[in-house]
Amino acid sequence: MSVLKKTQPMSTGEPARALWISTLAFTICFAVWTIFAIIGIRIKQELGLSETQFGLLVGTPVLTGSLVRILLGIWTERYGGRLVYTLTMLAAAVATFLLSYATTYPQMLIAGLGVGLAGGSFAVGVAYISPFFPAQKQGTALGIFGAGNVGAAVTKFAAPFVLLAWGWQAVAEIWALVLAAMALVFWFSTSDDPAFRARRNRGVARKSLLQEFAPLKNVQVWRFSLYYFFAFGGFVALSLWLPRYLVGVYGFNLETAGMVAAAYSIPGSIFRAFGGFVSDKKGARSVMYATLAVSAVATLILSFAVTPAAFIVVVFVLGFFMSLGKAAVYKHIPVYYPESVGAVGGVVGMMGGLGGFILPIAFGALKDMTGLWSSCFLLLFVVVSIAFVWMHLSVKQLERRGLSSQAVAAS
């Protein structure tokens, strides 16, 4: 009874406010995280970078933004998402602003490490948003939050105009100032999440690091990570690879190829919210089965020569189901690991981010080794097939153990 008196109940509009402000913040974070996709081209020209150096420059924020997700997820559990989210945005804003003063390649790589913090905000947002919503609505809420991936398209559309008008340094400075302003808006317009408030009011001792990482010994966590490696990592990789693919295979000009890639990215991000809604209504397992099955068929088709029109249709179908899968993966986490959303969500997010870093490199290496542009889709077919078989065998094992249909449906 005393605990109830100490714990302040949520106001009616608090969950919605936390969700929408967090989603806006994540959109801006994602726009900052992908800033090198535009300004990196001009930096390459100015510094005379090789293709390898350019690839490392573009990939550094993606890599660091992925690796830091575990730490940020755990910090969110310990210190609360409101504080960690705000500090993450401010730190990324400072690094992005300082990037505009970098003049050498090493300086830009160091700045890129800081810019990568913006991508790590995803793990913070997931752990922060989840406690505001009951289990039957968490899929929809996290799907809406994840739609902040559309920030990549914001950078692709807006940054070139700023770059042409004032230079790449202005892009870094403006993006940094917008992110810093968003951090202040977030801090002053949101409150601590209910789970953190309850732990603080009850005086619950913080978990040790061993306790934080304990769920990671479960193979199930790594199975979820493989799903996200494909659904998110594969989606990001294709967003980066499609312009080169369309130019190389079909002879599209760069402008047309870029527009197709942007058109692939935007609905692919927005439909993530729909994927969360469907996961709440139909179950995450059903959505993952559909995602992996359709993706396997789509990647197999794209592994063969198809017409440009057929390619665009099939790749858009693939992107749509990847978006559903991204949401379904994160529907699982608060269901199975409600006390470790930060750590588990951080690991799964890290693996997805690493997919976005590793797969484009693998696509290029396979193209060099085989001479086949379609080898990238053969690789994705292998990954998604392994994920599908692993999931199916795991579900059957759960059924044999006699678990409830509700538990199996969420697996």
Domain end, chosen from 173, 206, 239, is at 206
Same domain, 119 and 136: yes
| 6 inside domain | no
Domain end, chosen from 172, 206, 240, is at 206
The predicted pLDDT at position 212 comes to: 67
- DSSP 8-state secondary structure symbol assigned to residue 174: H
Same domain, 189 and 287: no
Same domain, 134 and 278: no
Domain count along the chain: 2
| 3 inside domain | no
| 255 inside domain | yes
| 158 inside domain | yes
- Above 90 in pLDDT, residue 231? yes
* Structural domain containing residue 111: 13-206
Same domain, 113 and 164: yes
| 340 inside domain | yes
CA distance 127 to 79: 11
What CATH number is attached to the domain comprising 386?
1.20.1250.20
**pTM for the full predicted model:** 0.76
The predicted pLDDT at position 3 comes to: 37
CA distance 74 to 209: 9
Alpha-helical runs (H) found in 7-68: 14-33, 36-47, 51-67
Same domain, 272 and 326: yes
Contacts of 294 (CB under 8 A, 6+ apart): 317, 318, 321
Q: Give burial (CB, 10 Å; 0-12/13-18/19+) of 401.
A: exposed
CA distance 125 to 363: 30
Same domain, 62 and 151: yes
Q: Is residue 31 very low, low, confident or very high in pLDDT (cuts 50, 70, 90)?
A: very high
Same domain, 270 and 379: yes
- DSSP 8-state secondary structure symbol assigned to residue 253: -
The predicted pLDDT at position 5 comes to: 37
Same domain, 185 and 321: no
Same domain, 99 and 120: yes
Same domain, 199 and 290: no
The predicted pLDDT at position 287 comes to: 93
Backbone angles phi, psi at 37, to 5 degrees: -60, -25
Q: For residue range 306-343, list pLDDT tens digits in order.
A: 989 999 999 999 989 999 998 899 888 878 887 777 77
The predicted pLDDT at position 7 comes to: 44
- Above 80 in pLDDT, residue 265? no
- The answer to whether the CB of 76 falls within 8 A of the CB of 202 is no
Domain end, chosen from 174, 206, 238, is at 206
Same domain, 316 and 223: yes
The predicted pLDDT at position 1 comes to: 36
Q: Of the given ranges (45-49, 123-127, 390-394, 404-408), which has the lowest mean pLDDT?
A: 404-408
Q: For residue range 177-218, list pLDDT tens digits in order.
A: 999 999 999 999 999 888 778 777 776 656 666 666 677 778
Average pLDDT for the chain:
85
Q: For residue range 334-371, list pLDDT tens digits in order.
A: 788 877 777 788 788 888 988 988 888 888 888 888 88
Same domain, 198 and 248: no
| 1 inside domain | no
Q: Of the given ranges (2-11, 113-122, 205-214, 279-288), which has the lowest mean pLDDT?
A: 2-11
State what percent of residues in the chain have pLDDT above 70: 91
For the range 91-94, what are the long-range contacts, defined as Cβ-Cβ under 8 Å and sequence gap of 24 or more?
91/117, 92/29, 92/32, 92/116, 92/117, 92/118, 92/121, 92/179, 93/32, 93/176, 93/177, 93/179, 93/180, 93/183, 94/176, 94/180
CA distance 323 to 271: 6
